[in-house]
Chains A and B, each alone.
Chain A
Amino acid sequence: MIEIIDLHKSFGSKPVLRGVNLSVEQGESMVIIGGSGSGKSVLMKHIIGIIQPDKGNVLIDDVDIGTLKEKELYEARKKFGMLFQSGALFDSLNVWENVGFALIRQKKMPEQEVRKLAIEKLRMVGLVGVEDLMPSELSGGMKKRVGLARAIAHEPSVLLYDEPTTGLDPIMADAINDLIVQMKGHLAVTSVTITHDMHSAFKIADRIAMLFEGRIIEVGHPEDIKNTANPIVRQFITGSAVGPIKIEGVNHERVFNRA
């Protein structure tokens, strides 16, 4: 279980998180929605301990990840798998070395075994015959799939998805959504996804939380979110430029109040 308690984080004088509270149950698929620059990625990096909070706590199975020593933190991270927005594949390694990276580093099995396992994980995400290619030879959708195969290779109990459908065409995006749903079914993992793609959010979420101005302003099941009375959430899920959420740098009077 993941519990985020009163999390604060600022970069320089700019506050990004201003008291985030959220809990994710075991086996649940939590989707965090919010606009660009709302701090979703920062929140996710707190969950895995890449960023340390200024104030507040992140508890993973009741262990405060912020209090762990370096070695314990790396050990705790073995519970996680993370799919990055761009895939973040290692350029200097081929596909199977990317997928089996954590296992090669752990040196618990010979490299040939890791290769076999990587091919199996690649097959799980629908990729066949790509294991010896370099990341530069893959399309955007394939990179995401390889990234997902890498995230699940060491069989984590928590999967984190950072904007999994961003930059993909609608068909590929839907295929990635299906994969995320499949992963939850097959692997019984807890997952946290950050996205601003509402189609994706409604498809993969057990619950949806909205991050706005550094706080979680609403949490609920997809149906509750669809029928919310909160004008901010409504504006976001309907994708309207007019409403309480102002676009940074845009003169709303001039742009949206045309007679």
Chain B
Amino acid sequence: MNERATSVDETMSPGAAKGSQTMGVAAAIAGWIVPGLGHLILRRWSKAAIYFLCVGALACAGLAMRGGVFASGAEDLFDRLGFFADLGAGVFYFLAHQFQAAGPDVAHATGDYGTRLFAAAGMLNLLTVLEAYEIGRGGEPK
């Protein structure tokens, strides 16, 4: 108990709202759209900053390496899985075409690494979304 009081919520203000299902869903949706926003709403300042920076860094690196971004409606199962992974990056997925003016180049190895980095950003953000949901509904994750 003491450990929790001293270490966890150095980032949470004393007036943080009590958890509820609605709060959990709102935090999850916000965290999916903008990585870290769900934690920001829940007043977990340092987690919000770290998640935004880490997911953003992976996604931007993936796009800068001219990685491919999967589109919806793919025929192939792996492409569909790739789409769901990419979609997890939220705003970075929706703005991918603006960031990547030259388009993807997966013919080269670097572009292929970029595709994986962007998918990893999406998957990582989905993990943070689950945590935001859990915190929002009142269950502090382990």
The answer to whether A binds B is: no
Instruction: List chain A positions with a Cβ less than 8 A from chain B.
Output: none
